[in-house]
Amino acid sequence: MSHHAKHLVLVLTFMLILPLACRASEADQGHPAKDGKGPAILLVTFGTSVPSAQAAFATIDKQVRAAFPQAEVRWAYTSKIIRKKLAKNGTVIDSPEMAMVRLMEDGYTQVAVQSLHMIPGAEFHEIHNNTKLFGQMAGGFAKVMVSPPLLVSDAAMDQVISAVSAQIVPKERRAEEAVVLMGHGTHHPSDAIYSALMYKMQQRDANMYIGTVEGHPTFAEVKAMLERKKIKKAYLIPFMTVAGDHALNDMAGEEPDSWKSQLAQAGIESVPVLKGLAEFDSIVALWIDNLKAVMNQMQ
Ligand code: CO
């Protein structure tokens, strides 16, 4: 078991034991201890079952705790498939709704929910709507606030592009070599953000591209652009929270339909960078900035 995996298990064990301990002491006092508890932070991500990708979550956890030392920090995964897969191996991670129930049960009255997503897509809206509903229950939370994902404004896109260029693109990359980001993509209208991002990236760096797995721009469009520009080498970088299944298989895998294989067929050498955005301080700092704005409105 890796150091990070151990850390995660420790955190999760603590998360499971803590509620029981709190309930016991509250029962002793004969009334629910609703006062005196600082705001709680709920970090919500899609989740991953790839152990190396979970290292990214440990990094975020550490940085969030350092930024908000008074806050209770908890995690939730939106993916039911991943939660089930992890539960089979003894790692229990809550859905956002279950995490809200536990926070309410544990007597927290204010919750800041941080969506660790790239765009405000279907998952973000579900997290937003469902966690906000918990704020409407009688005798429940006094305040539930939802902090936005990364790409929610023109300025945020600029910051993300700067962070990617400065910290994620390998230093040895030359200007005539391409940087190709792999976004997830979605059927949700916010899919258009990826095209906006590519436009803005290319204003700064003509050989920066972004394709998506499930939306637009498609990889076929990006590949055609690379061929038109007679690109010889491309750095492939996952534009996702973690370097999980999409990065390992769809981007850098050996199957003939992976991005790496398709580029090789077109005579373009590719260098995959197998790190998720959450592994980079400069990106995590942007999520934390969003969270700070929300936490400033809590007592
Ligand atoms: Co996917």
16 in helix, strand or coil?
helix
Find the radius of gyration of the CA atoms of the chain: 21
CA of 120 to the centre of ligand 1 (A): 15
Contacts of 25 (CB under 8 A, 6+ apart): 33
Q: Which of 3, 184, 188, 246 is catalytic?
A: 184
CA of 23 to the centre of ligand 1 (A): 38
Query: What is the CB neighbour count within 10 angstroms for residue 44?
Result: 28
Burial classification of residue 265, based on how many CB atoms lie within 10 Å of its CB (0-12 exposed, 13-18 middle, 19 or more buried): exposed
Q: What is the rounded end-to-end Cα distance, in angstroms, of the chain?
A: 39
Topology agreement, domain 40-150+280-297 and domain 154-276: yes
The domain limits of the chain are: 40-150+280-297, 154-276
Query: What is the CB neighbour count within 10 angstroms for residue 285?
Result: 13
Q: Which helix (H) or strand (E) holds 183?
A: strand 178-183
CA of 47 to the centre of ligand 1 (A): 11
What local confidence, expressed as pLDDT, does residue 73 receive?
98
Cα–Cα distance, 98 to 95 (Å, whole number): 5
Instruction: Specify the CATH architecture of the domain 40-150+280-297.
Output: 3-Layer(aba) Sandwich (3.40)
Q: Identify the CA nearest to 231 among candidates 270, 199, 185.
A: 270
Helix axes 281-295, 51-67, angle to 10 degrees: 40
- pLDDT tens across the length of the chain (299 residues): 445 554 544 444 444 444 433 333 333 333 344 455 889 999 999 998 888 878 889 889 999 999 999 999 999 999 999 999 999 999 999 999 999 999 999 999 999 999 999 999 999 999 999 999 999 998 889 999 999 999 999 999 999 999 999 999 999 999 999 999 999 999 999 999 999 999 999 999 999 999 999 999 999 999 999 999 999 999 999 999 999 999 999 999 999 999 999 999 999 999 999 999 999 999 999 999 999 999 999 87
CA of 185 to the centre of ligand 1 (A): 8
Q: Does domain 154-276 have CATH number 3.40.50.1400?
A: yes
Query: What is the CB neighbour count within 10 angstroms for residue 76?
Result: 22
Decide: 260 and 252 in contact? Cβ < 8 Å. Answer: yes
CA of 119 to the centre of ligand 1 (A): 14
Burial classification of residue 173, based on how many CB atoms lie within 10 Å of its CB (0-12 exposed, 13-18 middle, 19 or more buried): middle
184 is catalytic: yes
pLDDT digit string, tens, across residues 62-120: 999 999 999 999 999 999 999 999 999 999 999 999 999 999 999 999 999 999 999 99
pTM as predicted: 0.84
The 143-147 sheet, strands edge to edge: 72-77, 40-45, 110-115, 143-147
CA of 46 to the centre of ligand 1 (A): 9
